[in-house]
Amino acid sequence: MMRANIILYVALILVAFGVVTSQHEARKLHSEGERLQAVAAEYEAEYGQLQIEQGTWATHARIEEVATTQLKMEVPTPKQVQVIVLGRVGP
């Protein structure tokens, strides 16, 4: 009887240790999950801002402004435009 009690106490201690360990791991994983959700929310906000910025930089008016002011480009006259028709290359 005494031997059975000792075995049961040892089993109880091992199970209790397992429960404590698994609870600690679950809390740690939950905390990590919440942290990652916060990071994901920050990335989503930054992505939205970058999409707005890209839309601003890619507008036709903005491209034309940069081409004329910074690159000193001009719209060619119809006389300056040449149409090139490519034929089939190869044998």
Residue 73: name the closest of 63, 84, 60 by CA.
63
In the chain, domain spans: 2-69
What is the model's pLDDT at position 83? Answer: 86
pLDDT of 90 over the 70 cut: no
Tokens representing 60 are 């036709």
What are the pLDDT digits (tens) for 15-54? 999 999 999 999 999 999 999 999 999 999 999 999 999 9
What are the pLDDT digits (tens) for 49-89? 999 999 988 888 888 999 999 999 999 999 999 988 887 76
Quick check: 56 and 62 in contact, CB under 8 A? yes
User: CA 17, CA 9: separation in Å to the nearest integer?
Assistant: 12
What is the model's pLDDT at position 79? Answer: 93
Report the 10 Å Cβ neighbour count for 42.
10
Give the global pTM.
Answer: 0.54
